[in-house]
Amino acid sequence: MYEADYLNPRWAEDPTYILDQVRFFLAKPQAAASRDAAQRIRQEAEAKVRRAAGWRAPIISWLVGRLRRAMAARERAKSSIAELSVPSKALALEIGRRLVRAGHLNRPEQAYFLSATDLQCWLEGWWDGAGADELASDRERQREAWLAEAAPPDVISEEPDGRVTAKPVISGRQGQSWAGIGAAPGHARGKARVIRDPREGNTLRSGEILVAPSTDPGWTPLFLRAGGIVMASGGYLSHGAIVAREYGIPAVVNLPGILEDLKSRDVVVVDGDRGRVTRE
C-alpha cells in the first residue's frame, strides 16, 4: 500500500498533498456534496428492495446492515495496519541517526533499506555495523533498478521446467469500449486523467475521470475531485469500489490494459450500471 511505504512521506512530514486538497475544497465547496447523492442512491435502492422483497425485507435489511459493518471493519483494519508504519518508521529513522553518528551510514534514511533483523542485530550488539552503508546502498540501487523496469505482467505462472512466464490477460476492449465490473452505479462523462501515483493528484481537475491502476486510502482525497473512477484492477470489495459507492461516484474496475489504452484528456463515458467505459 502506498501509505505504508516508508519512502513515501506521511502527511505530517510533508503536508503539501493534503493542503492542496484543502485549497481545492475551499474553492469548490460543492464537491463535498457528493455524499448526499450517494445517500439518495442508497435510499432509493433500499426502497426498491423492500418493495420487491415483501415479508423477507427485514431479513435482507439485517443482512445488508451486517455486510455494511463488515466492509467498514475491513477498511478500518487496513488503515490500522498502515498506522503501524508511523511509529515503526520513526524508530527506523532514529536508529539511522545513531548509525550515522557511529559512522556506519551517510544518511539516516538509509536505515529504511536495512531489514528488521539488521537493525536488531546492531542494537543488540551482535553486529558492529560494518558495511551498513554498502548494504543499504546496494538495496537502494536494486529498488531503483526494479522501478525502472517495464510494468510487470498481471499474471505469471511457473512452467513444468521451472521457468516463470507471463500469461496473456484477456482484455475486455471492443473497439473504443472496455467491459469491466460496474463497481458503483451511475453515469459520468468527462476528460480522462491517467494517474499512476497519488502524488500526481494535483493534475486531476474537477469533474475529470480518474484512471488509476488501483487505489488505497492514500488516494481517497482525489475521489471528491473526480467525476468518475476507472481502475485497471479491483472488484466489488476493493478499496476504490467501496469509496466510490460511499461518495456516489460512478466507477468501473477490472479493466486490464486500460492505463495503456487511454490517454489523459481523452473524452470517456463511464457507465457504472453496465460496467463499461467508452471513448468518444
Q: Is residue 246 part of a domain?
A: yes
Q: Is residue 190 part of a domain?
A: yes
Residues 143 and 179 in one domain: no
277 grid coordinates: 467505459
Residues 141 and 218 in one domain: no
Tell me, what's the pLDDT at 170? 67
Residues 252 and 205 in one domain: yes
DSSP string, 19-64: HHHHHHHHH-GGGGGHHHHHHHHHHHHHHHHHHHHGGGHHHHHHHH
Phi, psi for residue 12 in degrees, rounded to 5: -70, -30
Q: Is residue 77 part of a domain?
A: no
Phi-psi region at 7: left, alpha or beta (left = phi > 0; alpha = psi -120 to 50): alpha
The CATH number that applies at residue 252 is 3.50.30.10
Q: Is residue 58 part of a domain?
A: no
The number of domains in the chain is 2
Query: C-alpha distances in angstroms, 31 versus 99, 159, 189?
Result: 47, 50, 16
Q: Is residue 267 part of a domain?
A: yes
Tell me the pTM. 0.72
Tell me, what's the pLDDT at 30? 66
- Taking 50 as the pLDDT cut, the residues of the chain under it are none
Q: Is residue 74 part of a domain?
A: no
In the predicted model, what is the mean pLDDT of the chain? 86
Q: Is residue 232 part of a domain?
A: yes
Question: Range of 248's domain?
Answer: 173-279
3-state secondary structure of 271: strand
Residues 178 and 275 in one domain: yes
Q: Is residue 195 part of a domain?
A: yes
Tell me, what's the pLDDT at 161? 84
Tell me, what's the pLDDT at 137? 96
Q: Any idea what DSSP says for residue 159?
A: -
Residues 187 and 140 in one domain: no
